[in-house]
Amino acid sequence: MAYSKFEKRFDFTTVTDRTGLDSTKWENIPIPGAKVEEGFSHIPMWVADMDFPTAPSVIAAIQARLAASPAMGYFNLEKTGFHEAIKGWQKRRNGVEIEDNDVISYENSVLGGVSNVIRTYTNEGDPVLLHSPTYIGFTGTVNAAKRKIILSELKQDAEGTYRMDFEDMEKKVVENNIKVAIFCNPHNPTGRVWEKEEIQAFVELMVKHGVHIISDEIWSDFIVGDQPFTPTQSVSELAKQNVAAMYACTKTFNLAGLVGAYSIIYNKETRDACRELAAQTHYNQPNVLSVHALVGAYNEGEEYVEELKKVIKSNQEHAYNVIQTWGGLVKTQKPQGTYVMFLDWTEFCEKRGKTMDEVLNKCVSVGVICQDGRPFHGPCHSRFNFACPHSSVVEAFDRLTKYVINAEW
Ligand SMILES: Cc1ncc(COP(=O)(O)O)c(C=O)c1O
């Protein structure tokens, strides 16, 4: 199917209030009891979806499938262009050549794929290695599978860059007899894009101790700094054979509500074991419109992604620059990837005698709806989502400066 007849028009500037629709982000405030005061508009900067329309090529692909046939019966994934679209994207964007379609598996969601690998290689009560700060979805998934979370803290170096602690990881892997580790590349919530040498060392350490690696690369299309993205499986043959990689176009093209993801697993034994477990529930079946959306996104969505990244970068830079004017009260790093930023309020809380609950309530009171960092294992932190129009970011950080940082409250 050809999807080239669409207008190449991207809208990254219109502020669209999604209140009253079905949006999780606009219909909820994630801080219990927090309220937006009258006179302030809502600027939701929490759950990781975007306040932008998806790419025109995605809409065109869905429309083309609807126009081709109004029947939505059982369908053949091979005939949709799913594998070719993924192979093309991986080659053009990540330099990865996939020769065999069979290494790609549809996954109902990235977290579903993560859960499936965990359940393939561990039993209830078994430990799973995670880095902290931690994406809350991993915490929920490991807990729901009734496995035990073992955290290895990422340490900030002199420049504030988050680094893995290899000594700590090895100690924990050995002491707990860990058999599965989840790696997030790029890392949510810190925005870290891992260097090739770090990934190599991580893979070697895990494989040395017989640990299966799950590499969640859902954020790989959002590289906003100078550090290039290195697919975890690409660093060595060892990595290729020992890493199950998870991808999706849902984050990149704002399609989380349409659902869909995919795994790349080169090791046949691992792939078969994971597929066998997934088949037991029969829940891991693709949705025809979601698959056509992926084909439209990956075949003709590159220009959209390039424009989008410029907006995200300028939003994060604006926030970073404003934070630098707050006299060191709040600390953060310019992200290398993702569209989130993790803010450390420790100094602010100490100097102003505030608790993190008070900070979060204050931010929300002026309409800046960010996310509590504590469930991400950031004790005095908040996470901000910058996938919104630049004008919203400017307004949000003006309000934080005026009402949270520079005011007595
Ligand atoms: C690192 C990471 N993995 C997975 C997900 C969720 O993906 P899915 O909805 O496909 O499970 C997110 C969403 O924010 C994420 O940040």
Whether 97 shows a pLDDT value over 70: the answer reads yes
pLDDT digits (tens, 9 = 90+) for 37-85: 999 999 999 999 999 999 999 999 999 999 999 999 999 999 999 999 9
Sequence letter at residue 64: A
Q: What percent of the chain has pLDDT over 70?
A: 98
Which backbone phi and psi does 153 adopt, to 5 degrees?
A: -75, 135
Probe residue for ligand 1, chosen from 110, 141, 214, 217 as the CB with the greatest number of ligand atoms within 8 Å: 110
Could you give the maximum distance between any two Cα atoms of the chain, in Å? 64
Domains of the chain, with CATH numbers?
Answer: 24-54+302-405 (3.90.1150.10), 59-300 (3.40.640.10)
Q: What share of the chain is helix, strand, coil (3-state, %, to 5)?
A: 45, 15, 45
Distance 250 CA to ligand 1 centre (A): 9
pLDDT at 402: 98
Pair 331, 223: CB distance under 8 Å: no
HEC string for 103-168:
HEEEECCHHHHHHHHHHHHCCCCCEEEEEECCCHHHHHHHHHCCCEEEEEECEECCCCCEECCHHH
Position 111 confidence tier, pLDDT thresholds 50, 70, 90: very high
Atom of ligand 1 nearest to the CA of 107: 10
pLDDT at 87: 98
Burial 158-182 (b: 16+ CB within 10 A, else e): eeeebebeeeebeebbeeeebbbbb
pLDDT at 13: 92
pLDDT at 264: 98
Question: For ligand 1, is residue 218 a contact (CB within 6 Å)?
Answer: yes
Burial class (CB in 10 A: 0-12, 13-18, 19+), 149: middle
End-to-end CA distance of the chain: 59
The DSSP string of 225-261 is SSS----GGGG-HHHHHHEEEEE-STTTTT-TTT--E
pLDDT at 16: 86
Whether 29 shows a pLDDT value over 60: the answer reads yes
Distance 399 CA to ligand 1 centre (A): 29
pLDDT at 99: 96
Name the token pair of 144. Answer: 């729901």
pLDDT digits (tens, 9 = 90+) for 338-389: 999 999 999 999 999 999 999 999 999 999 999 999 999 999 999 999 999 9
Whether 17 shows a pLDDT value over 90: the answer reads no
The DSSP string of 268-302 is HHHHHHHHHHHHHHT-----HHHHHHHHHHHHH-H
Sequence-ordered list of residues with C-beta below 8 angstroms from that of 153, at least 6 positions apart, any chain: 131, 132, 165, 168
pLDDT at 20: 87
Position 6 confidence tier, pLDDT thresholds 50, 70, 90: very low
Burial class (CB in 10 A: 0-12, 13-18, 19+), 92: exposed
Over its C-alpha atoms, the chain yields an Rg (Å, rounded) of 21
Residue nearest to atom 1 of ligand 1 (CA): 188
Sequence letter at residue 70: P
pLDDT digits (tens, 9 = 90+) for 203-255: 999 999 999 999 999 999 999 999 999 999 999 999 999 999 999 999 999 99
Distance 112 CA to ligand 1 centre (A): 10
pLDDT digits (tens, 9 = 90+) for 308-343: 999 999 999 999 999 999 999 999 999 999 999 999
Question: For ligand 1, is residue 111 a contact (CB within 6 Å)?
Answer: yes
